[in-house]
């Protein structure tokens, strides 16, 4: 009886969480005449393939839309933002965890709190800044602004990560005659690799997900990122190409889902800030 | 050689140098714009020109007398509170399920995390299709099951559209809350739970009288982030309804975007966004308190 309740609850959650993805999947490969049957016709079951699946929407998406271009734009922004974030946040996190002493904790908390200031509060002043710098409608605007989200969170992540790494190795190196600087340059990088990996992954997922700033700064279709282009520019006029739209959503979700599944626990440690002892 | 060595061993100098880029970036590109956002709300700045004139409280007077704004403020509160109530219930229940061992658990966990991984804008477009006025699969299922004879215009009716928005927000945030609550559950000392079992406490008593009280700080963290994510989210409403029908479903971020960016009235857009601050201040204060509390326990 208890088992039955457990499985029923698990099934319920899986259906609620997964149903939109099933819907993306089935829409992506359905023929149009199977897709566009009004829901008032109860004899036509929309949950299954009534006609054989088709690749027509996928071909449309990759062949006749700007989707490949958006993927490329997204990758350009990802690489640039990852480089900036790692270069800025990793040393800062190390400094807060190892060098700043008593102040480290408070400064780190202060930097983390800026992560709570949302894009929807900042997009108005940023739109002014971006046009002053002449960056409107360019990927440069996104590369400049996205680190405002990634740097606070990643500085915090690296700091938290380093506090769980024992000091011993670095101390031993200093006893062996390394200067503090030599430790930072030669010993610390090896210790910090898993932390850097988390930073890279977080930055990657964030850039893929960001919508507000992209919507504010980018207006040309060929400059868009995936998360902006798909909902905004794949819809031409009043004609929704639902098959292609859902295929785009599906193909973007898959890599993110895999990455999240692997890294979720690390992110959560960052969010719970010691409210949970790991 | 000597002076070089001293600097290479000066932890305060090295620390400052390594911290500086991060601190400068955050101050210049978060702190200053944040102050500027508040300043803008007292100005008559527009997107087209560089003119910046003091407008005093005129923007605030304008929006406070505007029924569309008041409606957006109310919607923001309704959506945030409604979705977070759902999230707490769903996440606590889902964490109980995922804590048990059963076949297919890895798959269940994977699927449960999906809504959190997918970009907001893409999830919102998928839900737009699910709520479509002609092809809604929800309507089909309700009718086929004989539960409904009429028709639900999910995104065309102001009240239903709010329900739809709450569902989508809860859907996308509860996985995150679930994982946080799970982490909290695993940190409850096993002795306490065992002691409760020995004392004859059943599942529900254990849940409500032992585990939930211990979980409070963790659930609070989940809710606080959930409030920030929901109250400040633009994508879901922008894509699902665009604030329509007839400006009835705007929330603060979408209205700020419409006035400030599309309407080029930076001053008014900033003033609308400033009304997000109360949400954020409550969250920030609560978090600081929580951090202080748990620090005492953790050290």
Residue B217 sits in a domain of what CATH number?
A: 1.10.3720.10
Chain B residues whose beta carbon lies within 8 Å of the beta carbon of residue A245: 125, 129
Q: Which of B26, B93, B257 sits opposite A152 (nearest CB)?
A: B26
- Judged by CB atoms closer than 8 Å, whether chains meet at A211 and B47 is answered as no
Q: Establish, for the pair of chains A and B, how many residue pairs have beta carbons separated by less than 8 Å.
A: 325
Question: In a 3-state reduction of DSSP, which class is residue A239?
Answer: strand
Q: Which of A180, A249, A257 sits opposite B125 (nearest CB)?
A: A249
Minimal-distance CA residue of chain A relative to B103: A7
How large is the greatest C-alpha to C-alpha distance in chain A, in angstroms? 80
Of B7, B16, B279, whose CA–CA distance to A100 is shortest? Answer: B16
pLDDT at A150 exceeding the cut of 90 = yes
More confident residue, A237 or B122: B122
pLDDT given for residue A113 in this prediction: 82
Q: What average pLDDT does range A135-149 have in this prediction?
A: 94
pLDDT given for residue B296 in this prediction: 40
Residues 6+ apart with CB under 8 A from A5: none
**Cα–Cα distance for residue pair A270/A152, rounded to 1 Å:** 11
Q: Residue B159 domain-assigned?
A: yes
pLDDT given for residue A1 in this prediction: 65
User: What is the domain range of residue B175?
Assistant: 66-298
CA distance B221 to chain A (A): 7
Q: Residue B39 domain-assigned?
A: no
List residues bridging with A239 in a β-sheet.
Answer: A236
| Sequence-ordered alpha helix ranges (H) in chain B | 2-9, 11-26, 32-40, 58-64, 67-99, 105-117, 120-130, 137-144, 158-186, 190-198, 203-205, 212-231, 235-240, 252-257, 266-274, 277-298
Q: What average pLDDT does range A103-122 have in this prediction?
A: 84
Q: Residue B125 domain-assigned?
A: yes
Q: Which residue has the tokens 């911290």?
A: B19
Q: Which residue has the tokens 């201040």?
A: B281
pLDDT at A240 exceeding the cut of 80 = no
pLDDT given for residue A239 in this prediction: 66
pLDDT given for residue B3 in this prediction: 45
pLDDT given for residue A165 in this prediction: 81
Sequence length of chain A is 278
Q: Does A273 touch chain B (CB under 8 A)?
A: yes
**Cα–Cα distance for residue pair B41/B51, rounded to 1 Å:** 14
What's the whole-number average pLDDT of chain A?
Answer: 87
pLDDT given for residue A226 in this prediction: 94
- Judged by CB atoms closer than 8 Å, whether chains meet at B26 and A23 is answered as no
Minimal-distance CA residue of chain B relative to A136: B47
Q: Does A175 touch chain B (CB under 8 A)?
A: no
Chain A residues whose beta carbon lies within 8 Å of the beta carbon of residue B274: 121
List residues bridging with B54 in a β-sheet.
Answer: B43
Q: Which of A17, A120, A151 sits opposite B232 (nearest CB)?
A: A120
**CA distances from residue B70 to A121, B56, B64, B83 in whole angstroms, order as listed:** 18, 20, 7, 20
Q: Residue B190 domain-assigned?
A: yes
Chain A residues whose beta carbon lies within 8 Å of the beta carbon of residue B104: 10
Residues 6+ apart with CB under 8 A from B224: B283, B286, B287, B290
Q: Which of B26, B102, B228 sits opposite A116 (nearest CB)?
A: B228
Q: Does A114 touch chain B (CB under 8 A)?
A: yes
Minimal-distance CA residue of chain B relative to A273: B291
Q: Residue B176 domain-assigned?
A: yes
Measured at the alpha carbon of residue A81, what is the angle toward residues B50 and A184, in degrees to the nearest 5?
A: 120
CA distance A160 to chain B (A): 14
Count up the domains in chain B and report the number. 1
Chain B residues whose beta carbon lies within 8 Å of the beta carbon of residue A212: 234-235, 253
Q: Residue B74 domain-assigned?
A: yes
- Judged by CB atoms closer than 8 Å, whether chains meet at B21 and A92 is answered as yes
Residue A272's pLDDT band, with cuts at 50, 70 and 90, is: low
pTM of the entire structure?
0.89
Q: Which of B130, B217, B280 sits opposite A275 (nearest CB)?
A: B217
CA B274 to chain centre: 17
CA distance B89 to chain A (A): 12
Determine what percent of chain A is predicted with pLDDT higher than 90: 39
- Judged by CB atoms closer than 8 Å, whether chains meet at B239 and A231 is answered as yes
Of A123, A110, A211, whose CA–CA distance to B276 is shortest? Answer: A123
Domains of chain A: residue spans and CATH: 66-272 (1.10.3720.10)
Q: Residue B43 domain-assigned?
A: no
Q: Residue B198 domain-assigned?
A: yes
Q: Which two tokens stand for residue A35?
A: 């897709």
pLDDT given for residue A277 in this prediction: 42
**Cα–Cα distance for residue pair A15/B112, rounded to 1 Å:** 9
Candidates B98, B111, B176, B266: best to mutate against A (most CBs of A within 10 A) is B111
With a CB-CB cutoff of 8 Å, which residues 18-77 of chain A face chain B? Answer: 18, 20-21, 23-24, 27, 35-40, 42, 45-47
Q: Which of A24, A155, A180 sits opposite B22 (nearest CB)?
A: A155
List residues bridging with A236 in a β-sheet.
Answer: A239
Determine what percent of chain A is predicted with pLDDT higher than 70: 93
Distance spanning both ends of chain A, measured CA to CA: 33
CA A193 to chain centre: 20
CA distance A165 to chain B (A): 17
Q: Does A85 touch chain B (CB under 8 A)?
A: no
Q: Does A95 touch chain B (CB under 8 A)?
A: yes
- Judged by CB atoms closer than 8 Å, whether chains meet at A127 and B108 is answered as no
Q: What are phi and psi of A54, to 5 degrees?
A: -140, 155
**Which ipTM did the prediction report?**
0.88
Q: Which two tokens stand for residue A187?
A: 């010993």
Candidates A40, A125, A176: best to mutate against B (most CBs of B within 10 A) is A125
The segments of chain B whose pLDDT lies below 70 read 1-6, 48-50, 291-299
Q: What average pLDDT does range A37-50 have in this prediction?
A: 84
**Cα–Cα distance for residue pair A75/A18, rounded to 1 Å:** 27
Chain B residues whose beta carbon lies within 8 Å of the beta carbon of residue A209: 119-120
The CA dihedral of B184, B186, B190, B192, to the nearest 10 degrees, is 20
Minimal-distance CA residue of chain A relative to B184: A276
Contact between residue B124 and residue B235 where contact means Cβ atoms under 8 Å apart: yes
pLDDT given for residue B217 in this prediction: 81
Of A209, A234, A190, whose CA–CA distance to A66 is shortest? Answer: A234
More confident residue, A278 or B294: B294
């Amino acid at each position: 009886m208890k088992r039955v309740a457990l499985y029923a609850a698990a099934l319920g959650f899986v259906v609620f969480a997964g149903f939109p993805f099933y819907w993306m999947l089935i829409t992506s490969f359905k023929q149009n005449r199977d897709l566009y049957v009004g829901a008032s016709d109860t004899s036509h079951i929309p949950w299954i393939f009534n006609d054989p699946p088709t690749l027509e929407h996928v071909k449309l998406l990759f062949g006749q839309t700007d989707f490949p271009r958006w993927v490329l734009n997204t990758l350009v922004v990802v690489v640039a933002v990852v480089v900036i974030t790692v270069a800025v946040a990793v040393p800062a996190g190390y400094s807060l965890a190892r060098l700043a002493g008593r102040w480290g904790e408070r400064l780190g908390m202060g930097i983390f709190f800026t992560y709570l200031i949302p894009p929807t509060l900042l997009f108005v002043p940023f739109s002014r800044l971006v046009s002053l710098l002449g960056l409107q409608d360019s990927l440069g605007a996104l590369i400049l602004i996205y680190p405002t989200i990634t740097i606070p969170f990643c500085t915090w992540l690296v700091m938290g990560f380093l506090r769980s790494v024992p000091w011993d190795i670095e101390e031993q190196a200093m006893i062996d005659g390394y200067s503090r600087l030599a430790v930072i340059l030669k010993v610390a990088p090896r210790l910090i690799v898993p932390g850097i990996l988390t930073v890279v992954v977080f930055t990657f997922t964030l850039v893929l997900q960001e919508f507000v700033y992209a919507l504010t700064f980018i207006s040309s279709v060929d400059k868009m990122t995936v998360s902006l282009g798909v909902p905004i520019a794949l819809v031409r006029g009043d004609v929704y190409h639902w098959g292609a739209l859902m295929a785009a959503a599906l193909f973007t979700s898959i890599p993110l889902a895999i990455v999240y599944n692997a890294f979720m626990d690390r992110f959560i440690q960052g969010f719970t800030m010691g409210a949970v002892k790991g | 050689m000597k002076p070089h060595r001293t600097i290479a061993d000066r932890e305060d100098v090295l620390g400052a140098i390594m911290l500086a880029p991060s601190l400068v970036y955050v101050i210049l590109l978060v702190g200053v714009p944040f102050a500027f956002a508040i300043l803008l709300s007292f100005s008559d700045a527009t997107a087209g020109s560089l003119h910046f004139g003091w407008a005093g409280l005129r923007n605030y007077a304008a929006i406070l007398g505007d029924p569309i704004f008041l409606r957006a403020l109310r919607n923001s509160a309704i959506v945030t509170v409604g979705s977070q109530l759902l999230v707490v219930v769903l996440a606590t229940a889902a964490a109980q399920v995922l804590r048990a061992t059963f076949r297919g658990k890895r798959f269940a966990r994977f699927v449960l995390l999906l809504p959190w991984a997918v970009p907001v804008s893409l999830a919102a477009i998928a839900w737009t299709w699910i709520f479509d006025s002609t092809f809604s699969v929800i309507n089909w299922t309700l009718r086929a099951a004989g539960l409904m004879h009429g028709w639900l215009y999910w995104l065309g009716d102001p009240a239903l559209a709010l329900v739809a928005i709450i569902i989508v927000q809860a859907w996308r945030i509860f996985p995150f809350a679930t994982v946080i609550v799970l982490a909290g559950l695993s940190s409850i000392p096993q002795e306490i739970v065992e002691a409760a079992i020995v004392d004859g406490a059943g599942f529900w008593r254990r849940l409500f009288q032992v585990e939930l009280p211990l979980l409070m700080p963790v659930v609070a963290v989940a809710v606080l982030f959930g409030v920030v994510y929901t109250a400040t989210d633009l994508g879901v409403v922008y894509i699902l309804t665009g604030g329509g029908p007839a400006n009835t479903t705007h929330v603060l971020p979408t209205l700020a975007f419409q006035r400030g960016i599309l309407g080029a009235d930076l001053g008014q857009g900033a003033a609308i966004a400033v009304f997000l601050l109360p949400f954020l201040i409550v969250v920030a204060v609560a978090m600081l308190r929580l951090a202080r509390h748990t620090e005492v326990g953790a050290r």
